[in-house]
Structures are given as structure tokens and as C-alpha cells.
Amino acid sequence: MTDKSLKEHLAHFGLLTCNSTSTMPNITDLGFSWSDATNLIDKHELFYCKSYKNRTTYLSPEAYYLIKKYKKQKPMNAQAKQIYQLLEQNEMETIELKAFSFMKQTEYKKAFDFLLKERYITAIRNGRILNPNWSTYVYAAAEKWESYTPEPTLGPNSKEQLITLLSVFMTDREIKNFLD
């Protein structure tokens, strides 16, 4: 497949995970590859986060902005703020971010995962290629991604649009819990 057809899939369904769930296929289940996802990350046409069940989640720009509008972010604790402030100033790979944060591994991981779950940060581009199927990411504050990917025009029924996107993979109860 190609990153173009992955973009089309995301435009239609809004979100996709890296790993399968009982209700949502992953990128390889659908015939896409790691490089399809990273190509869209490099083009800022996909928002990388962990908003769905703490799993790697890929959002279309429309889904990102709809979720941003209707799913409130939890406030950052001190460690999350520290990492976020580093990424507001500079784009960094994980190894750099860990070094500059001066945190213990468990503290860092908890704060970093929180920032991804709450969509405060995202992968802004591909980092070092580790092998043909894997690379590192360079991270930035979500606002940096937004500067490359302006908000699409959301219609007057935008909450219904979001619920329609989510209902493909979630029950009404799961949608309610997700948006709370």
C-alpha cells in the first residue's frame, strides 16, 4: 500500500492504531506499513498520540481537531510540564529528551506517556532509521504540528462528526468514557 492510501483511510475513519484491538485493526492488518505512517508524520498529515486505550494511535487532522475540541486535556504535573517546556523550545528525539529532563526513567516514562495520551506532544518527524521497519521519532509540542497542519473547517454538527468517526470502533459507552 502507500502513504496516500493510508491518508485516505485516515480521512475516512479518522483514527488507527499501531497494534490491533478487538474492535480496531492496526496498520499492518489493513496492508499498510511502518513507512506509510512515518511518511505521513513527516508530512504532518497524521497526528501521533496514545489517546486510544494508551496505545499508539494515529489521527487524521480532522479527528485530531475534533478530539481537541471535545475531549479536554488533563492538567500536567511538574514532570510533564518540564518535558513539555523542553519540546516547546526544541524538537528532540527521546534520547535527547531523557538527557535534558534529568529525570529517573520511571518518572520520565510516566510523564512522557501522559503527554502523548493527552495530546500535548506528538512525533513531528522521523528520526534515526534503526532498521528498514523501525525508526526513532523527533517530538515536539502539539502546537508545532498545528502550525504545519491548520485546523480544517469544522461544520456546525462537529460533535456528531466526531461521534460518527468514533462509533466505527467504539460503543456509545466507550465514546462517552473516551470524551469524559
pLDDT at 63: 94
CA-to-CA separations, 49 to 17, 89, 104, 151, 163, in angstroms, rounded: 10, 20, 22, 17, 19
Q: Please, which residues have CB within 8 angstroms of residue 153's CB and are 6 or more apart in sequence?
A: none
Instruction: Tell me what pLDDT residue 155 has.
Output: 82
Query: Is the pLDDT score of 3 beyond 80?
Result: no
Q: How confident is residue 2, by pLDDT bands cut at 50, 70 and 90?
A: low
Q: 50-104 pLDDT, tens per residue?
A: 998 888 899 999 999 999 999 999 999 999 999 999 999 999 999 999 999 999 9
3-state secondary structure of 9: helix
C-alpha pair distances (Å), 136 with each of 21, 127, 132, 139: 24, 5, 12, 10
